[in-house]
Structure formats: C-alpha cells, structure tokens
Structure 1
C-alpha cells in the first residue's frame, strides 16, 4: 500500500475500487504529484512511475480479493453449511458488471454458473459520529441558596423540583443538595411568567434597596468559610473564641504585648536619664526605645487583624498582615531608629558636649538591660518552641521568617541589649577620659546596629510576601508521599511556595485510570454487573451503561483526590492549600 502521508493517492485508489475508473487517468486529471509527500516524490520521480506503481497495487488488491472470495465460497454450486463463518454476500444487480464477474457476450449470454457462484461483498458505510458540543449547559447544577437568590424563588417552590446530591466541596461537610439550573429556570418562568419579568423584578428590588441579593450571597459565603481553620496560634479546645481572645491566648500575642509594655517604660526612663546627662549615646537609646515601642504597636495591630476569619472578599484570610506590619516595622527601625541615632552621633562629632550625672545614666541602662533581657528571653523561648515543632534549628527558623512578629521582637530586644552594652561602654570611656567623641561613636554604633537589624527584617518579610519556594527536602518529601499512593502514576510541574507562613502545594498529577476503575469495581457486585452487561442489545443501551458508570467513576476520582489531600495535610500540617490537577 502507499505511504500514509499520501492521502490523496489513497482516496483515488479507494474511489477506483468502487467505480472501476482507470487509476492512471484519474491521477493525471487530479494531478496528485502536488499532494504527495517529498519522500514519495523522490521515490516516484515521474508520473509514469507512480502510475505504474499504483496500477500494480490495484492488480494485487484485485487478486487478493479474488482469492479470498474463492476460498470463502467453497464450491461453485454447493450452499454454505450452517454455522460457517462466511461473510454475508449480496448478489449483483441486474445488468451490473462487477470486478469479479465475467463480461457479457455480445449476444447477451454469459457464463451463468460463474455469475451465480461468484458474489460481491455488501459494504455498509459506518455512520459518522457527531462532534461534542462543548457549549452544552444542560448539566449545570446550582445550590438552593443560589436558586432562591438569583431567581427570587421561595423554599416551598423548590420542593417540586427533582433533587440531586453531590459531594461537599469542604473536607468535613456532608453531601450537598443541588438542582439542575434548567429546571430552576423553567420553574422561575412559570412562577414569574417569563425570565424577562424576573429580571425586571430583580432590577426593581435592587434599585429600591429592599432585597440585596449580593449582600445575602456575601453573608452566606462568610458563613461557609467560617469552617476554615484559624491561624496556627488559635487554641484548639474552643471553637467560639473571639479574635481578641485568640490574640491574648496566642504565644506571639503575649510576646508582642509584653514588649510594648517594657519598651514604653524604658522610653520614659531613658528620656529622664538623657535630660539629666545630655549624652548622645543615651539619646540614641531613647530613640531606640521609642522606635521599638511604635514598631511593636504596629506589630500588634497587624497580628490582631491577621487572626480574623476569612470572608468572601478575603477567602485565604488576613495572615499576610503579619508580614506587612513587620515590614513597616523594619522600615520604621531603619528610618527612625538608625537614622536619628546616626544623625545625633554626627552632631556629637561636630558639636561635642560634656556629660552630666553618670548615676542617672548607669541606673537607667541597668534597668533597661534587665527589662530588655526579660522580653528577649520570652521571645527566645517562643522561637525555640516553634522551631522544635517544625524540626528546625533556632536560627534557621529565624532566617526563614516563619513567625515575623516574634522575629521582630527578638531582633529588636537583642539589638536593645547589645545597644545598652555599647552605650554603657562608650559613656564610661567618655567619663574616665573626658573625651566626648567616644560617646558620639557609641551613638553611631547603635545606629549601625539598628540599620543591620532593620535590613534583615525588611529582607525576610519582602521575600515572604513575594512568595518563595519551600526547602527542597520538604518539597521532595511531599512529592514522595504523593507518589507512594496507589492511584498516582507520576507528578509533573510541582510548585510549593511559602506564602506568609502558609504552604501552598500545586502539582499536575497523572492518575492511574486502571487503579481508579479497579477501586470502583471493588465496590460493585461483579456478578450483577456482568448480568447487566449481558442485557445490552442496542447502541443506546451501551451508551446509557457507559454514561452511568462513567459518572460514578469520575465521582470516585474526586473522592480519591479529597482523600489524598486530607492525608497529605495530616502528614504535613504546614500545608494549607493543596491543588492537585489531573494531567
């Protein structure tokens, strides 16, 4: 036969077999050489060559058909035995000359026995299947709430409609009841007269503010999203805690509130000491404490609002406010704390002044060291507790920025403790040497320390807000857990990002259709299924059989995806959103 690419030549051969046209003439008229592929053009360089080739193929095809028919007929006059596997034959029409029949003689007589013994295969063309209409919308289901909101129907109106149960879109929710949208539209047309009258009534109600459909929908969405998990700091024993109670009970909230109280008290004490001493280093410490207080108030504001429940406008919650408030805090430390400290140190170099009473300064620095050290220990304990929960090292957890609010408090208090030591050392050198430049140098050093801390806070929170990939080891572990499931062949295009402490995992999954079908068959009675298959007689019966079981297999695929996601979140609690897309 010809090469598959030479489609036009194959079509001509098929037409020649049916109508007994001359192949050479047909090829010359249709000019097939322009439609042949390059390989065939090189093989059949001239028209004569490929005409001869096709004629040879034509003769060979006729010879094969003649041999098959002669072997199937058995004998000239003997009828076929019952139960034989001969193909059904049809006698040629009167006056028609078939490729295998003898030509008639001029006087109208022919070989009667030969014409009776030779038969022609009856070819029935297969009906062409219709293409799938992807714009079909008769299979859309809607919830009762949507039916009542969009079509202004009462719950009693929906009682007459057929109900369908579907899987819940939520992990712990029961099955949901849905209606066909076409049924609901027909019902709304009967209730309101027509869909145009329904739209006019909706417009009238919306204009009069008597029935806000969209506000009702928003409230319902909020109610559904209340089942979503709160932040990781929420106490697990009580589901009715308010945001304020969650904030005060969480470890991060306690750390931030204690830091605000301590830094506010230190700011007042250092301000009094600076008034009595006039030290540039003490002024830097005042600015440092004031900046820490303001920044931690911003942290508390962001942490409080990040614990709010998700709503329809913010379906993923407000957890990003933690990183936003920490980022603002870092900018404040850099501009206010570092900038003013360096500026005051430069002023001390340009206009040196003698220090006042050292007793106020040393007493204030000692009190600040104790208080800042206490809040530093609280922050260290909180970071150590959470790093152990994630099986991470202490500084690895800090660098990852998994709890930005605690990190800010930790770094600010660490800088405060180190800054107190720098201020005490520089003020002591100035007191014993009488050189005020040491005190100004201390102010510059404290400003540089605050700049380093602010840069670290800004960098880590910016990366968290932009979205960064999780560690490669964790990503591989999650992928291995997925691939160990029997229903999955392989994973592709795996993406796992850490968005504000919440890991979002996405992968293209090659599901094993045979295993999913096997799981479906495991739930069925195979004997009953076999009996059902034996009753199939028509094409319509086969179609209905396949549609029924195909829909159930797709439902089972959704159940398997839910099972895999639930298992994955249980194994890796840091996962918040898992998106498995069928390849």
Structure 2
C-alpha cells in the first residue's frame, strides 16, 4: 500500500469545506422559501460537514507539533481523537436533527410551494459535492494500491481522507433522497413524504457515523503498521548474519505517517556488547532508509526462548 500523502489529504478536506459552506447557504435559502423538510435537513447536513472538515484541519495542525517531555512520540494521534469527535457529531447532530425534523414534518405536514428552486439548489449541490467526492476518491485511489475499496479503508491510518470520502458519499445519497422526497410530496400531494425523506437521510448519516466511529476507535486504541512494512522490517533484520532469529516485530502508528517499531532479535552468542551496539546502529540506519515512516526504532537483543509471545486472534471482516 502506498504511503499517505499529507498534502493530498489537506486538499481533500479543503475542497470539501469550500463546497459545503456554499451549499449550506443555498440549501437554507431554498428551505426557507419552499418549506421543505428534507431541504432543511440537507442544510444542517452541510453545516455539520463543514464543521467536521474544520475539526479535521485543526487535528492535522495539532498533530504536527514536535515531541516533548510529556508526549515523547509526538502529537500525531490527536488527529485520531478529532476523527472520533467528527463521527459523534455526524451521529448526534447530523442524524439527530434529520430524524427530528422529519418526524416533526410528518406529524405536522406543511404544504410545499413551487419545488423548482429546490431542484435548482439540489442540482448545483450535487455538482459541487460530486466534484469534492471525485477529488477525495482520486486521492484515496492513489493510496489503496491493488486492494479493495473497503479493505483500504480498514487499513488506512489517515482518517482525513476516508472521512471526507464517506461524508461526500453520504451527501450525494442525501441529495438524491431529498430530490425524491420533494418530487413525491408534490406528485402524490402528500407533504408527509418529504418528512419521511428527511428521516431516511438521518438513517444514512447514522450508518456513516457508526462506520467512521468504528474506524476512528481502532486508530485511537492503536493500530499496527501494514503487513508489508512489518515483513520488510523483519527481512532486513533477519538479513544480518549476526542475527540468528527475529523473535517478533511489533508496530504502532503514532500518526498517519509515523510508526514506532519494537524488535526482539536473537543475536549470535559470539557478538560482544560493543559489537551489538554497533550492529543495532547499522540496523536502524538500514530500516529508516528502507521505510521513512519508522520514526522510532527499539531493538532488544533477546534469546528466542525468552521473548514474550502474544496471542494472535483472527481478524474480523
């Protein structure tokens, strides 16, 4: 899998923010004129998305701070915290308001005015959201390599990219649902259908929020590096003739582009303490040259029989 490009994820977030700010204003104006519940819901949806992109940019900025005494591995994982907050906001505000507004308009339906303005706004919003989605998908495809779309999301360590992709996908689905709801309300002369469309948009947002929360939780807890990186590290260390066995290679992402690796290796008994220190320095140099994301490397000389083992559980799909 390719290395995450921070500039690419910034471009994705900025493009989504620009699109959502303009769309939100247009949706609220259209909702105020037409009285459409689903259009009002879409307005709140765009506001929440805009806030989410601001939080992701803030998380990226905070994560760039250098290591200090309190945080010796840096602040990169702060982005993961804000990604989890984004998931909560989508669920609590985006989905919550959508369902509430839909319920209110279903219980107390209001006659809708001419839907032409709504269709115009929805068309413009679809074009802008589609552009943002295309940029997000293009950047995401650059990092996913040959693996499937969903596998790449599960393996990604940069939440900014896939969160915007999820949000834009949900936004496009919401626009289609809103258009269907507005059309159905006028065609069947039943304003309650517009409220049902709003509830359906809330359900889509809730589903996206749950998926994002699941991925952000894994990053917060701490996820290991890609299997290819671990294999590369193991092969480099095992390639030294003074190393009789690589007991284990354990990694954790401290940021999207930063990995801490702990290696347990069994050295030949003939290697002295001084020779081991020199050997470890050479290994670290080779590892950093082969994989620049290895920001912190810890190598422990250890007999194979003394190395601790961890129970490997089968991964859930």
Question: Which residue of 2 is the match for residue 491 of structure 1?
Answer: 246
TM-score under structure 1 length normalisation: 0.49
Q: Which residue of 1 aligns with 2:313?
A: none
Greater RCO structure (CA 8 Å; 6+ sep) = 2
C-alpha root-mean-square deviation of aligned residues, in Å? 2.1
**Greater Cα shift, 556-565 or 262-271:** 556-565
Q: Does 1:444 align with 2:182?
A: no
Counterpart of 1:423 in structure 2 is 178
2:285 corresponding residue in structure 1 = 566
2:299 counterpart of 1:580: yes
Runs of at least 5 residues in structure 2 that lack an aligned partner in the other structure: 303-317
TM-score (norm 2): 0.87
Which residue number corresponds to residue 20 of structure 2?
263
Which structure shows the higher helix fraction?
2
Aligned: 1:316 with 2:92: no
Structure 1: stretches of 5+ with no match in the other structure: 1-230, 235-249, 517-552
Q: Which of 151, 154, 157 matches 1:402?
A: 157
For the residue of structure 2 that corresponds to 1:491, the secondary structure is strand
Contact 2:67/2:75 (<8 A) preserved: yes
Equivalences for 1:473-484 in 2 at 5 Å? 474-484=229-239
Larger Rg: 1
Q: Does 1:513 align with 2:256?
A: no
**When the two structures are aligned, how many residues end up with a matched partner?**
299
- Deviation for aligned residue 1:468: 2.7
Alpha carbons 1:352, 1:437 under 8 Å: kept? yes
Matched, 1:290 2:42: no
CA deviation string 1:120-163 (max 9, x = no partner): xxxxxxxxxxxxxxxxxxxxxxxxxxxxxxxxxxxxxxxxxxxx
Whether contact under 8 Å (1:320, 1:465) holds in the other structure is yes
Separation in 2 of the partners of 1:423 and 1:346? Answer: 15
* Cα separation, 2, equivalents of 1:232 and 1:457: 18
Correspondence 1:248-397 to 2 at 5 A: 250-388=7-145, 392-397=147-152
Measured in 1, the distance between the counterparts of 2:47 and 2:61 equals: 21
Alignment of structure 1 residues 234-245 onto 2, 5 Å:
none
Shift of 1:402: 1.6
1:442 is displaced (CA, Å) by 0.9
Quote the residue 1:504 is aligned against. Answer: 260
Match of 2:308 in 1: none
